[in-house]
Structure formats: C-alpha cells, structure tokens
C-alpha cells in the first residue's frame, strides 16, 4: 500500500509539473488511522498529503460529477468498482475521456472505517476483528477496466460462491413474506438521501425527489413514502448500478440497498442478454436501456 | 418495474403493463377485462398505503 501511495504521488507530482492536470482526486489521512477521506489536490505541493491505504473505500468517480460542467483536466485514482463508474459517466456523456487522467489501482479489498471505529471504541474491541467492507465481499471486478496507468498486482474476484444468492433467497419467499421483509427494512429509512448523494449512477441534474412542483413522492419519512422512494430510486438505477455498494455503506440505518440493486442487475442480465454495467468501455457503445432493439422483451416495464 | 414490484411483495397480477395501439380497441377491452378480473380476485390493496 505504501508503495502504491508513493507511486501515486510521483505520478500526480509529474502531472502537475507538466501542467497536464488542474486537479488530482485521491485520499488523505484524517484524524484517526482508520479514516481516509477524499482529497482534491490542486497543486504539486498538496500532492504530499495524498495517501492510498486499506481505508480508501470511497468511490471517487462520483466526485467527478461536480466538475462535469467545467473545463478542468482531472487526474483520478480508481479501484475496480470506481473505474466502472467512470465508464458509466463516459457512456452517459457526463464527462469526456480527454479531460481525465486515470490512475488505476488493483484493489485487494477495502476495510470498513465504521467497523474499525466500533472496534476501536473500547466496547467491542477484538484482536482479530474482520474489518473487511461488506461491499467488497460481492466484488466481481477488483481490477480497473479503464486506466492510463495501472498500479499494483492484478487481483482475483473476491466474490465467493453463487452470484445473486441473497436475491434468490428472497425470491423464494411468498409475496407477503417479501413485503414484510422490505417493510421492516425500509421503515427505518430517515430519508437523508445519502444513498443518492453517494451514487455515481445518480447523475440527474434535477432529481425527481427534490422537485416540489409537482411533488412526485411524499417527503415524509413514513413506511409507504420510504418504499416509494426506494422503488423509484432502484428502478432508476436499472442498468446503471455498478455494484460499488456505496449506497449501502453510507446508509446510517443499514438498509440492505444492494438487495434491490442486485435484483435489477439480475433482471437486466436476464432480459437483455449478458450485461453488467460499465465493465467495458467502447466509444459509442450503448448500454441496453439506452437503445431500442426489436427483440427487446415486453415484460421489462 | 413489474419484477421489482413483485420482488418487493406486491402480488403478481396487481401491476400489469401491455402495449396497445390506438387502433386496437378490442385488445384494449380484453386487457382491461382481464386486469379488472385479476385485481378483483386479489381484493383491495393494503400494501404501500399505510402512512405510519
């Protein structure tokens, strides 16, 4: 990790000196050992703060959305999942490739700062605590799919066993059981919209949930409005979700949001032929939900 | 959409979609009849409606 940090610093410094970029997105160390936070370096001096360690869980491709209207050329560090986010942004024409310098890092799996925090808190301290981030357990693409430089050694996919196992378990329940399950999970939602903010696929300029005229979805944090919110948000993510798991990680009330997203990934995969969002970037290629084909199934609506 | 609603516990048959052209009056009639019959059989919807 330290080696990768140094390599990233060297690359960033060089890019700033050659005036190839205006900004470099990476991480810096925060107060505690287990806190890394997104960091935007704007000069060669600031590069010294950059760090890449096992707590660099954040998906930085989301931060690019803030600069989509600007002209800055941006260097960015991506892990496997983040690079899929970049492919999605390029496919949606939210960003142009020539403004980006992508440093890809083969990701050995990240640790969850929240778990580390609990472990450090003094109440739950265990010596060999499993701090692995939940989102990394279902990872199918730890290696970046789009990059200018690749650092680290290629990693095998971390996902063990059958894909969509949890989704299939829920599908096997009766409708009433499923409703009870989701009602129970989603009733705790406090509608903080952290899942939306953390999501790279959520790139609408005006969000349906912010509109008040007309107000499409009730804003109260009650069970039925919460369920409507999550149904709508999940269906908007159809064919866009890159499985970075950030929504689930940032959720303050631990709603298993990836259960919804994975269901839709599974559906898109079965309705529109083998497809995973953002696994490959080809100039001009369109994901299934951005184009019309005559043999599209009727049932997807 | 349909499959997501069913996944979240809405009964199969309560939500239906169909492609009907403006010139397909009979098809519209058939689809609506089937929809009404299906939903009547399921009874009133209580899901997604409670404002707790």
Q: What is the pLDDT of residue A160?
A: 77
Residues of B in contact with A264 (CB under 8 A): 4
pLDDT reported for residue A205 = 87
pLDDT of the residue at B11: 84
Place B50 in a pLDDT band, splitting at 50, 70 and 90: low
* Closest in A175, A180, A263 to B4, CB measured: A263
CB contact under 8 A, A267 and B3: yes
What is the rounded CA–CA span in Å between residue A56 and residue A112? Answer: 9
Nearest to A79 by CA among A110, A125, A119: A110
Residue A300 is predicted with a pLDDT of: 66
User: What pLDDT, on a 0 to 100 scale, did the predictor assign at position A111?
Assistant: 86
**Does A175 sit within 8 Å of B4, measured CB to CB?**
no
Q: CA A253 to CA A262: how far, in whole Å?
A: 19
Q: Whole-model pTM?
A: 0.86
Burial (CB count <10 Å: 0-12, 13-18, 19+), residue A158 = middle
A222 touches chain B (CB under 8 A): yes
Q: Does the distance separating the beta carbons of B9 and A183 come in below 8 Å?
A: yes
Contact residues, chain A, for B1 at CB < 8 Å: 235, 300-301
Q: Is the pLDDT of residue B45 over 90?
A: no
Chain B interface includes A220 (CB < 8 A): yes
By percentage, how much of chain B surpasses pLDDT 70? 94
Domain ranges of chain A: 2-151, 165-291+293-297
Q: How far is A237 from chain B (nearest CA, A)?
A: 11
Chain B residues with CB inside 8 Å of A223's CB? Answer: 50-52
Burial pattern A206-244, b for ≥16 Cβ within 10 A else e, equals: eeebeeeeeeebeeeeebbbbbbbbbbbbebbbbbbbbb
Domain parsing of chain B, residue ranges: 2-42
pLDDT for residue A291: 77
CB contact under 8 A, B1 and A187: no
* Beta-strand runs (E) in chain A: 23-29, 36-41, 50-51, 74-78, 100-105, 149-151
Strand partners, A132: A111
d(CA A209, CA A194) in angstroms, rounded, equals 13
Confidence at B51, pLDDT banded by 50, 70, 90? low
Residues 32-51 of B with CB under 8 A from A: 47-51
For the question of an ipTM over 0.90, the answer is no
Strand-pair partners of A26: A39
Q: Does A264 touch chain B (CB under 8 A)?
A: yes
Q: How close, in Å, is residue B23 to chain A by CA atoms?
A: 19
Please indicate if any CB of chain B lies within 8 Å of the CB of A188.
Answer: no
Which of the four pLDDT bands, split at 50, 70 and 90, describes residue B35? very high
Q: Which of B4, B12, B51 sits opposite A264 (nearest CB)?
A: B4
Chain B positions in Cβ-Cβ contact with residue A180 (cut-off 8 Å): 9
Give B42→chain A minimum CA distance, Å: 12
One digit per residue, pLDDT tens: chain A, 301 residues? 788 899 999 999 999 999 999 999 999 998 888 888 999 999 888 888 898 988 888 889 888 988 888 888 999 999 888 899 999 888 888 888 899 999 999 988 888 888 888 887 777 666 666 778 888 888 888 889 988 989 888 888 877 778 888 888 888 888 888 988 988 898 899 999 999 999 988 888 888 888 888 888 888 888 888 888 999 999 888 888 888 888 988 999 989 999 999 888 888 888 887 777 777 777 777 777 777 777 777 666 6
pLDDT tens-digit profile of B10-30? Answer: 888 888 888 889 999 999 999
Q: Are the beta carbons of A80 and A143 closer than 8 angstroms? A: yes
The pLDDT, as a whole number, for residue A128 is: 66
pLDDT at A216 (0 to 100): 84
């Amino acid at each position: 990790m330290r080696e990768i940090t140094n390599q990233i610093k060297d690359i960033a410094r060089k890019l700033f000196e050659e005036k190839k970029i205006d900004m470099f997105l990476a991480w810096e160390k925060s107060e505690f050992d287990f806190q890394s936070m997104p960091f935007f370096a704007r000069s060669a001096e600031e590069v010294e703060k950059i760090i890449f360690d096992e707590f660099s869980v954040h998906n930085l491709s989301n931060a690019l959305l803030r600069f989509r209207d600007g002209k800055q050329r941006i260097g960015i560090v991506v892990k496997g999942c983040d690079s899929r986010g970049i492919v999605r942004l390029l496919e949606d024409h939210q960003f142009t490739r020539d403004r980006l310098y992508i440093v890809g890092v083969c990701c050995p799996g990240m640790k969850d700062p929240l778990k580390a925090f609990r472990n450090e808190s003094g109440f739950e301290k265990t010596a060999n605590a499993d701090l692995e981030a939940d989102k990394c357990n279902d990872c199918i693409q730890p290696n970046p799919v789009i990059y200018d430089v690749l650092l680290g050694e290629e990693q095998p996919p971390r996902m063990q066993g059958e894909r969509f196992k949890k989704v299939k378990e829920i599908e096997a329940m009766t409708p009433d059981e499923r409703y009870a399950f989701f009602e129970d999970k989603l009733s705790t939602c406090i509608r903080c919209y952290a899942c939306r903010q953390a999501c790279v696929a959520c790139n609408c300029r005006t969000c349906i949930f912010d509109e008040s005229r007309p107000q499409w979805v009730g804003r109260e944090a009650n069970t039925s409005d919460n369920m409507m919110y999550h149904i709508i948000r999940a269906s908007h993510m159809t064919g866009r979700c890159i499985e970075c798991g950030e929504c689930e990680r940032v959720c303050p009330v631990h709603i298993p949001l990836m259960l919804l997203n994975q269901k839709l990934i599974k559906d898109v995969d079965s309705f529109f032929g083998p497809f995973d969002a953002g696994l490959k970037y080809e100039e001009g290629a369109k994901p299934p939900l951005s184009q019309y084909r005559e043999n599209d199934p009727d049932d997807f609506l | 959409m349909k499959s997501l609603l069913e996944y979240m516990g809405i009964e199969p048959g309560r939500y239906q979609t169909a492609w009907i052209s403006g010139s397909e009056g009979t098809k519209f009639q058939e689809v609506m009849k089937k929809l009404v019959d299906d939903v009547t059989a399921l009874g009133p919807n209580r899901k997604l409606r409670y404002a707790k």
